[in-house]
Amino acid sequence: MPVPFLDTPRPHAFAHRGGAAHAPENSWTAFEHAVKLGYAYLETDARATSDGRLMAFHDRTLDRVTDGSGAIGSRTYREVSALRVAGSEPIPLIEDLLGAWPGVRFNIDLKDEPGIALLGGVLRRTGAWDRVCVTSFSGSRLRSARGLFGRPVCMATSPAVIAAIYGAGPPGRRRQPGLLARRLAGWQVRCAQVPARVASASFVRRAHALGLDVHVWTINERAEMNRLLGLGADGIMTDDIETLREILIGRGQWHPREP
């Protein structure tokens, strides 16, 4: 039985960082554009300020996309809120994004340790448990999040599980796929989110056998979108949200969010 986050028709279209091909990444303008196009799933990143506010921001440092510099984690919320992405866009709070569109689902990449407890607080205040999926490149952050949240929330696999699926797993796991599937389900781990080089036909097949959806990132080429959809990918994450929407409409697989 699917978790609420995944209970819409597949394939799922994710606006990566809001759809960074059309507006500054992780900006209000980007997210608003995706929502207007009908996107039901938005992808973003979560980083903590020094005084405990959770921001939608990808990089460890501010230098690449803002008019500031240094680590975002060393700045207060007041300092960060005064900065601008691409010279014009304020950095949103995760809590404000969740509150702005109650019918939209968010894939949230936990980028640092302080953000774990902060995200738990945000989800408690907003009641958004069923419309988020938590992911991270750190298996330890995912384990910590499961312990701190205190209730089930959809999660993506750790890098170690992805590596096991990609390599068909160690011998014990190959003989007992049901055991791994039950463990993953018990942890509410329902997604394998991977780059295109990992998402082979065999990987998709193995992930599906474990009860996992396969979401592929970050796909911006039309031919690659079609190829992955043809392999049975359950979701595509893209910066080019207009092209992905056009392709899915053409395939009869566009499932816009309900108004």
Tell me the catalytic residues: 16, 58
Nearest to 117 by CA among 152, 147, 93, 92: 147
For the chain, the maximum distance between any two Cα atoms, rounded to a whole number of angstroms, is 55
Angle formed at CA 110 by CA 157 and CA 91, multiple of 5 degrees: 145
Residue 12 bridge partners (DSSP): 235
Q: What is the number of other CB atoms lying within 10 angstroms of the CB of residue 217?
A: 20
